[in-house]
A = this chain, B = another copy of it.
Amino acid sequence: MKHISSRDNPLYKRLMRIAAGKRDMQDADPSTVGPSVLLEGIHLCQAWLQYGGQPLVALFDAERLERDPELEQLATELYAAVCHSCEPRLAKGLSQVEHGQGVYFLVRAPAPAVPDRIDHLCIWLDRVQDPGNVGTLLRTAAAAGVRHAYLSTACAHAWSAKVLRSAQGAHFVMTVYEHVDLLAVVERLAVPLVATSLVDAESLYGKPLPAACAWVVGNEGQGVAASLLAKADRRVFIPQAANVESLNVAAAAAVCLFEQRRQHAGTS
């Protein structure tokens, strides 16, 4: 296993750039292939290996690799050519969390093309800006059995470190479409478009929910864009106590998605 002991190592410098959210100089046109992304931690790396295959690069904290059986096991499942070890201080330098686990994967995020016909249960995120919200929305959707997420431009980047952390592996069981022009994609829908909205909406519990639909949830401050709301087949609100703030977007989605799941248990 190649060992990195200097901050000036070109591969280490490349990983540092990506960890800082900068564009990888080796990335091609981002509209056709997904960006290079750094996954941190045993859970995300194992999930990638299970669902995405081999990483481009795997980097281990040399000291932790020696004493942590989980890391050791992970290393045995990797092609030797992708594996690198490094000094503990270098591994720490890459970490986005207080207590890192000493393992990183450099991977290419998938960049799936939006299908011509959308006939599956899915969630649409219209300008959801907070990475924690985007991650929690993906985690919640995955738990509710939703397998497709469409993110508009101006959403937090789905493969950023914060979103990955909040999503807890949801990326690996879902197809995540990014930079989607939601308004233009409405025409491809073969299922109803259901928007959460506080105005001009009916109770979530009023009529039965469809087994499959495209749920659209909106920006933290402004909600779903008026142009999208106008295209919705149904606008629903969650009846709540008077004189308090409405639910956070991720909490609202949890209530909607699991109410649908309750009504159609076993169908999704």
Contact = CB atoms under 8 A, between A and B. Distances in A.
A244 B205 contact: no
A32 to B, nearest CB: 29
A96 interface: no
A238 interface: yes
Contacts of A250: 136, 248, 250-251
A144 interface: yes
Contacts of A258: 238, 255, 259
A243 interface: yes
Nearest to A145: B241
A169 B142 CA distance: 30
A262 interface: yes
Measured as residues with beta carbon below 8 angstroms from the partner, the interface class of chain A is 35 or more
A60 to B, nearest CB: 23
Residue of A145, A173, A250, A251 contacting most chain B CB atoms (<10 Å):
A251
Interface in A232-247: 238-241, 243-247
Contact of A170 (B139, B244, B265): B244
Given A136-B251, A265-B239, A245 B142 contact: yes
A261 B239 contact: yes
A43 to B, nearest CB: 9
A245 B170 contact: yes
Given A205-B262, A252-B254, 9 more contacts: A136-B248, A136-B251, A139-B247, A140-B251, A143-B246, A144-B241, A238-B258, A258-B259, A259-B259
Interface of A: 132, 136, 139-140, 142-145, 166, 168-170, 173, 205, 238-241, 243-248, 250-252, 254-255, 258-259, 261-262, 265, 268
**Nearest 6 A-B pairs (CB), nearest first?**
A145-B241, A251-B254, A168-B245, A143-B240, A142-B244, A255-B258
16 contacts: A132-B132, A139-B248, A140-B251, A142-B241, A142-B245, A143-B238, A143-B244, A143-B246, A173-B243, A173-B244, A205-B262, A238-B258, A247-B254, A254-B254, A254-B255, A255-B258
